[in-house]
Structure formats: C-alpha cells, structure tokens
C-alpha cells in the first residue's frame, strides 16, 4: 500500500483542472443530476429557509442546476450568487440563467474556502450541494460562509452519508483504491464520505459556530438504464474518481473501469440500474 502525503494546494489545483475539463459533460448531465438529487435539493432549500426575495450564496455551485432552481424559488426580487473554483462551470451556469431570463443569478469564481472575502452579513442563506466534502480546510470554509450570512441566516449542505449506504459510489472507490494502492483517507481529509459518519456533519457545523443544527437523511437512489450507463456518468462527471486514478497508466484505468462495471451489475434488475445512495442534508444558523 502506497503512503502519500496530502497537499491541499495540489489537491485544489488538480480539482480545478479536472472540473475545467469536465465542464461540458457535467453540464450535459445536469438534468439527470437535478432529477436524482431533487428531494435532497428541496430539503436543502427548506432547511436554508429560502423564500421570495432571499439573497442566497451557492458554494461550489458547479454548472448551476441547483442555482437556477434556487433563483426560481426566490423570484426576481431575490438574488443568487453562484460561486465555484472552475470558471468553465460558471460560464455554463451564467448562459443557462441568461437563456431563462433569470437576471437574479450572478456568478463569481471563488474558492469555497474563501467565503470570508465576501461582504459580511450580506446573505440571507447559503447552500452547497455535494461540495463541502471536498474542501481541505472544511472548518475554515464553514466559518467563512457563516461570516457572509446575516444573523439568523442559515447554511444548508447536501453530502453523502456512509459508504455502506452509497454503494453506487463506494464500490468504484473501493476498487480504484485497491488497484491504485491507495490508503484510506485519514480523519478530516476531503473525500466523498468524509462527512457521512454518525454525528460528523452535526459536529462540523456546531464546531464552526452554527446554532440550531439539524440533519436529515434522504434516500436518493441512482436510476439509470444499466451499470454501463452509471459508469459512463461517473467517468464523465466524478472528478474524485479521476483524482484517485491519476497515478495509473491509461490501460490500467480501462481495466479498472471494466471491473467497476462488472461489480455494479449487482444493482441491475427488471427496471434497469438502481444504485444505492443516501444523502445527508444538514444545516445551521449563523448566530450573533
């Protein structure tokens, strides 16, 4: 097993490059992702108390499917600032907002750990869908987001729960980790399941100074035509898996994907592929 030293700067630079390259594919999959995570996203909006006229900060917004959905919810008197580390993703968000006439959507290239650079107390709510898990300085990011919220404003995030409840993702992670000789991530390091353990998300929010913390599990099965289609989705859209395979030769990567496809066939049935997935939606309020 290979021992590696985690370098947050390298991790973020690699992540940015991968999302720059994957922007088109992620945008193409946006409708599917919106359907897949519909219930979790609505729960995130509910916990963040999004309402007509709300000013909303979206952290790690990606191509902005949920940003536009938030904009429809807050209406023309509201505002949604979509931020991300990858400008190619934000470009697609801005174009989609323009096509829909959602003038209340703005975009800003911003590292999610740099929310403290935004004007203090300038947002009623903040959200992040499957982004917080990949921040090396998660505690600093949470404090920065809190500083951008007005007193009583809420931050809500969607994250994966445990590997056992998310086999559509954890099975590929396990196979890739074994083939690439990677150790399991240490406590506190970024990764897909880094906030999924019992009480972990609650503790992260409370330690960052949030009040009135709540967390709810939301079943979010991944429904596609086949395991092959699920692997295509992951190949095109899951930067975390590509990060793990960056040390493998191209031929070895192809072998890994073939093994992943075969393993995921376990979840094929008469209605197609139904991959086990459970999200956690957690939130807290910014105190005085």
Q: Give Cβ neighbours of residue 103 (< 8 Å, ≥ 6 apart).
A: 76, 97
Q: What is the model's pLDDT at position 204?
A: 97
In a domain? residue 52: yes
Residue 81 β-bridge partners: 57, 106
CA distance 19 to 88: 8
CA distance to 14, 79, 214, 277, per residue, from 76 (Å)? 36, 8, 29, 34
CA dihedral of residues 37, 106, 237, 239 (deg, nearest 10): -110
pLDDT for residue 240: 81
pLDDT tens for the 288 residues of the chain, in order: 444 678 999 989 988 998 998 899 999 999 999 999 999 999 999 999 999 999 999 999 999 999 999 999 999 999 999 999 999 999 999 999 999 999 999 999 999 999 999 999 999 999 999 999 999 999 999 999 999 999 999 999 999 999 999 999 999 999 999 999 988 878 889 989 999 999 999 999 999 999 999 999 999 999 999 999 999 999 998 878 888 898 899 999 999 999 999 999 999 999 999 999 999 999 999 987
CATH number of the domain encompassing residue 62:
3.40.50.150
Q: Is 182 contained in some domain? A: no
Q: What single DSSP character describes residue 118?
A: S
State the DSSP H helix or E strand holding residue 19, giving kind and residue range, or none if neither: helix 8-28
Task: Name the DSSP letter for residue 259.
Answer: H
pLDDT at res. 1: 45
Distance CA 75, CA 52 (A): 6
**End-to-end Cα distance, the chain:** 48
Has residue 218 been placed in a domain?
Answer: yes
CA distances to 20, 171, 178, 224 from 2, rounded to whole Å, are 28, 20, 10, 35
- Indicate the number of domains in the chain: 1
* C-beta of residue 135 within 8 angstroms of C-beta of residue 145: no
Three-class DSSP category at 250: helix
pLDDT the model gives residue 209:
97
Q: Is residue 117 part of a domain?
A: yes
Is 225 strand, coil or helix?
A: coil
Range of the domain at 81: 8-163+187-222+277-286
Degrees, nearest 5: CA angle 136-105-37? 60
> pLDDT value at position 184?
81
Question: Does some domain include residue 256?
Answer: no
- Is there a domain that residue 257 lies in? no
Strands 123-129, 55-58: pairing kind: parallel
Most distant pair of Cα atoms in the chain: their distance: 55
What tokens appear for 255 in the block? 């072998």
93 part of a folded domain: yes
Q: Which residues pair with 82 in a beta bridge?
A: 58, 107
Gap between the Cα atoms of 266 and 172, Å rounded: 13
């Amino acid at each position: 097993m290979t021992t590696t030293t985690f370098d947050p700067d390298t991790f973020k630079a690699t992540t940015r490059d991968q999302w720059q390259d994957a922007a088109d594919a992620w945008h193409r999959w946006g409708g599917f992702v919106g359907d897949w995570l519909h219930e979790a996203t609505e729960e995130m909006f509910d916990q963040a108390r999004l309402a007509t006229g709300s000013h909303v900060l979206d952290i790690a917004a990606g191509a902005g499917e949920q940003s536009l959905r938030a904009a429809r919810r807050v209406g023309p008197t509201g505002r949604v600032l979509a931020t991300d580390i990858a400008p190619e993703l934000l470009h697609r968000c801005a174009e989609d907002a323009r096509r829909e006439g959602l003038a209340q959507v703005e975009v800003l290239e911003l590292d999610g750990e740099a929310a403290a650079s935004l004007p203090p107390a300038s947002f009623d709510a903040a959200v992040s869908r499957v982004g917080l898990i990949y921040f090396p300085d998660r505690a600093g990011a949470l404090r920065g987001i809190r500083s951008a919220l007005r007193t009583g404003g809420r931050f809500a995030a969607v994250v994966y729960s445990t590997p056992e409840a998310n086999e559509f993702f954890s099975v590929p992670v396990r196979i890739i980790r074994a083939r690439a000789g990677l150790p399991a991530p240490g406590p506190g390091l970024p990764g897909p399941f880094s906030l999924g353990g019992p009480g972990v998300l609650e503790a992260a929010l409370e330690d960052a100074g949030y009040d009135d913390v709540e967390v709810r599990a939301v079943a979010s099965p991944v429904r596609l035509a086949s395991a092959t289609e699920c692997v295509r989705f992951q190949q095109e859209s899951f930067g975390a898996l590509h990060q793990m395979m960056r040390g493998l030769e191209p031929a070895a990567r192809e072998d890994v994907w073939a093994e992943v496809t075969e393993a995921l066939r376990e979840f094929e049935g008469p209605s197609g592929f139904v991959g086990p997935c459970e999200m956690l939606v957690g939130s807290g309020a910014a105190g005085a």
